[in-house]
């Protein structure tokens, strides 16, 4: 009994940690980011919506990405997404297919001066099961490429991932995403 409580409390601590981290990132990004080009200033397209195939939610996800820190050659963003995957456990249930909602979360670090970026990220993806199975989670590390220009337009990312599931299994995976960047959007107002 105490072991199960310990495992659940660790999951709870990880979830609270990532939720707090996203709240801090959002509060940092509450102001419009202005990029300086010599004596000219431009507002930067800090928001993106994209669809990712693969990635840290397994098969696909719909995502929102927000740049919250921009310097000349380094940027940071956070990402939150949603996915509804199916899974099969034939030994436990007669009906083999069940739905598994997933919420991919990531903190991204972008290196590059213009629209081409080396992207690294750390992610956390809680997922939930039907039929009273306990929820699970995975932790991921991404190394890849991101194309995102300062003005509104095309958003592309592709990367290799290392994912650790809640059982401690490590496996390689990949993801490719395409979407659109834009300037003004406030998710919480």
Q: Name the more confident of 104 and 150.
A: 104
Q: How far is residue 148's CA from residue 67's CA, in Å, rounded to a whole number?
A: 11
**Is residue 150 within 8 Å of 42, Cβ to Cβ?**
yes
What beta strand segments (E) does 21-148 contain? 34-37, 40-43, 47-54, 60-70, 74-88, 97-102, 105-111, 116-127, 136-148
Instruction: Determine the average pLDDT of the residues in 90-118.
Output: 82
> Which pLDDT band holds residue 31 (cuts at 50, 70, 90)?
very low
- Average pLDDT value for the chain: 79
How many Cβ atoms from other residues are within 10 Å of residue 103's Cβ? 18
Contacts of 159 (CB under 8 A, 6+ apart): 119, 121, 142, 143, 144, 145, 174, 175, 176
Q: 0.85 exceeded by the pTM? A: no
For tokens 């929820």, name the residue.
Answer: 135
**Is residue 118 within 8 Å of 110, Cβ to Cβ?**
yes
pLDDT of 158 over the 70 cut: yes
**Is residue 146 within 8 Å of 110, Cβ to Cβ?**
yes
Instruction: Determine the average pLDDT of the residues in 98-125.
Output: 92
Residue 148: name the closest of 176, 112, 107 by CA.
112
């Amino acid at each position: 009994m105490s072991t199960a409580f310990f495992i659940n409390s660790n999951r709870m601590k990880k979830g609270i940690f990532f939720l707090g981290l996203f709240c801090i990132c959002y509060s940092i990004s509450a102001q419009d980011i202005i990029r300086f080009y010599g004596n000219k200033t431009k507002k930067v397209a800090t928001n993106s919506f994209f669809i990712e195939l693969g990635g840290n939610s397994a098969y696909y996800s719909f995502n929102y990405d927000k740049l919250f820190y921009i310097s000349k050659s380094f940027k940071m963003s956070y990402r939150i997404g949603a996915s509804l995957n199916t899974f099969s456990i034939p030994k436990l249930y007669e009906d083999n297919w069940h739905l598994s909602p997933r919420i991919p979360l990531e903190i991204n670090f972008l290196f590059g001066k213009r629209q081409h970026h080396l992207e690294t990220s750390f992610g956390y993806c809680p997922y939930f099961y039907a039929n009273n199975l306990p929820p699970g989670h995975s932790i991921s590390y991404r190394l890849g490429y991101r194309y995102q220009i300062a003005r509104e337009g095309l958003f592309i990312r592709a990367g290799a991932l290392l994912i650790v599931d809640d059982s401690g299994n490590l496996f390689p995976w990949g993801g490719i995403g395409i979407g659109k960047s834009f300037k003004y959007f406030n998710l919480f107002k």
